[in-house]
Amino acid sequence: MSAICLIRKFSMKSPSRFHRSLLFSTFSKESPPDLARNASIRRPYSSSISGQSFVSPSIWRFTQPNWISEKTRSISVFSLRDFSTSIETNATDKSFERIQVQSGLIVEKIHRNEEVTLDESVSKIDVKEIEKSGDEIVETISDGKVREESEAEKEAWRILENAVVRYCGSPVGTVAANDPGDKLPLNYDQVFIRDFVPSALAFLLKGDGDIVRNFLLHTLQLQSWEKTVDCYSPGQGLMPASFKVRTVALDENTTEEVLDPDFGESAIGRVAPVDSGLWWIILLRAYGKITGDFSLQERIDVQTGIKLIMNLCLADGFDMFPTLLVTDGSCMIDRRMGIHGHPLEIQSLFYSALRCSREMLSVNDRSKDLVRAINNRLSALSFHIREYYWVDIKKINEIYRYKTEEYSTDATNKFNIYPEQIPPWLMDWIPEQGGYLLGNLQPAHMDFRFFSLGNFWSIVSSLGTPKQNEAILNLVEAKWDDIIGNMPLKICYPALEYDDWRIITGSDPKNTPWSYHNSGSWPTLLWQFTLACMKMGRPELAEKALALAEKRLMADRWPEYYDTRSGKFIGKQSRLYQTWTVAGFLTSKLLLANPEMASLLFWEEDYELLDICACGLRKSDRKKCSRVAAKTQILVR
């Protein structure tokens, strides 16, 4: 029987589930990205070689076109684009002959055998030789050292490649788990957006960008599909939590492959995946940074997708705070765990997505209002998180002495937090040198649990101040046995127990104390921890955690999570051969081996945001802007 892939013209109307857009039927990578969008930042490209255009990003692109020989040397420079969020446009700049980076520095086009002289102000990267030996890749660093893959890495790559899902012959993602002994996979045989992110980074760092490009475009197509729960449809722009490739019979002799997405209508609890769209934007930026293929993010349909996600997140509501209001279970913790409101994980991803969007959006008459709204929200959100979510021993003592029921515009206890909310465990647990960002904050409620992903991604995105970021890693180091233990890393600390577990989780049998989302240990969090450590110049912490994981993961068959307070036992309902466990391990290895690549994936402090204030209170005699009063404190904390 033959397979037929139906195509249709693109339309913003909700299409049938079993049709694909004409715009997504072919994905070309041959044409070079358009340089017209950025005037102050021009991307480095070399000239056309052997009839093909080679894109050279700020780090050498690891994907090797056909004309590259077995041994190739490459030198590259750091681009201003890696650290800037400028979105100015210039429609006349089409030159590939020379690329201006910053302050008059010119980098001439690079030919295959040319000698390249770089200005001393540009950082050089160690030259590497890549040698292929069968199916293995051996890296020879410029100092002569050779790094070979360990047995765990080799097995991890085999598992990851076996997890790849194909649609009409092209790779489009990886299944959540590929456990041969699992007779009831539930939705673990689907491609999840959040789960695929570490897999995508592993493929990108290895040099395979095709699967990531296909994934980004196909999930973008699903964004416009009809999504309904009990005759109600959520806002335009929502990304699916996952999708599955199904084969549908058209008649007796023909079949068709279709993508069947889940927007939450089939999920446990019927919760919309708020984090899916945020991760999609973050991955889109990472794809451009690592491959140098910025043409993808400049496509009209991709620009429209970014705008739809941002419009959905920035829609006006009743909330008084710049944080994103969500229900329980709308992120990695997708079961009832008492994180409804303004959980840190969503806020850190939201902040990253805002910064990514500001980098990638083309500014024109139709987008300038959205860009302005993004800038205002970035400014307000960074202030809010740094000022009100931060806790250390000094802040806890301040909360301990709070006065309550303050009715004033300049109240100290703005959220009317009762000192009795401070849990007894925290008083002895918080170290003298260290701190972290609260798990959640809303009126009369502070969630004092430490949530790993939210804190680590706050470091990566520079949502926290430099001193706060350093203090978070100090806390992890001081409380290593609690947060890392025998298997990194606790998804949160501590666990909900006794009455708290019964009331908050509803006596969830999967989220029992020290299991699953209730303070289970998740190896996939290694890559976020590694990226945070590398940004702060402390890779030794990541190497120590990775060494712990490598001792057990292969022998334990790559579990989804581990149980008990120290992470000693494989989770009681943990799937084996969990793809993002494998991918998190591989991505951590690749990031540590390629620090220059890691630098493309995090954000530096943006001091311009501290000067933006949209509240309009500076000229008012009746009220004063709390941001202005606290600005010095936020900068130095």
CA atoms within 13 A on the CB side of 383: 24
pLDDT above 90 for 97: no
Q: Model confidence over 486-504: pLDDT tens digits?
A: 999 999 999 999 999 999 9
pLDDT above 60 for 531: yes
Residue 169 C-alpha from the chain's centroid = 27
pLDDT above 50 for 52: no
Name the range with the highest mean pLDDT among 90-104, 228-242, 256-270, 516-530: 516-530
- Give strand ranges (E) for 56-116: 98-100, 106-108
Higher pLDDT among residues 17 and 3, named by residue: 3
Q: Model confidence over 249-273: pLDDT tens digits?
A: 988 889 999 999 998 888 777 888 9
Q: How confident is the model at residue 615 (pLDDT cuts 50, 70, 90)?
A: low
pLDDT at 192: 96
pLDDT above 50 for 1: no
pLDDT at 85: 36
Q: What is the maximum alpha-carbon separation in the chain?
A: 78
CA distance 522 to 563: 9
Helices (H), 31-181: 151-162
Strand partners for 245 = 259
pTM for this entry: 0.78
Q: Model confidence over 389-425: pLDDT tens digits?
A: 999 999 999 999 999 998 988 899 999 999 999 999 9
Higher pLDDT among residues 93 and 232, named by residue: 232
CA distance 73 to 326: 49
Rounded to whole angstroms, what are the CA distances from 503 to 252, 339, 422, 492, 496?
54, 13, 18, 18, 10
Averaged confidence pLDDT in the chain: 80
pLDDT above 60 for 346: yes
Question: What is the 3-state secondary structure of 191-210?
Answer: EEHHHHHHHHHHHHHHCCCH
Tokens of residue 491, six digits: 């998804």
pLDDT at 35: 36
Lowest mean pLDDT among 268-272, 380-384, 443-447: 268-272
pLDDT at 272: 83
Tokens of residue 154, six digits: 């080799």
- Give strand ranges (E) for 430-517: 435-437, 440-442, 445-447, 450-451, 492-493
Percent of the chain at pLDDT > 90 equals 64
Q: Model confidence over 310-343: pLDDT tens digits?
A: 999 999 888 899 999 999 999 999 999 999 999 9
- Average pLDDT for 435-463: 97
Give the position of tokens 């009126």: 443
**Terminal-residue alpha carbon distance, the chain:** 66
Q: Model confidence over 102-128: pLDDT tens digits?
A: 333 323 333 333 433 334 333 333 434
pLDDT above 70 for 10: no
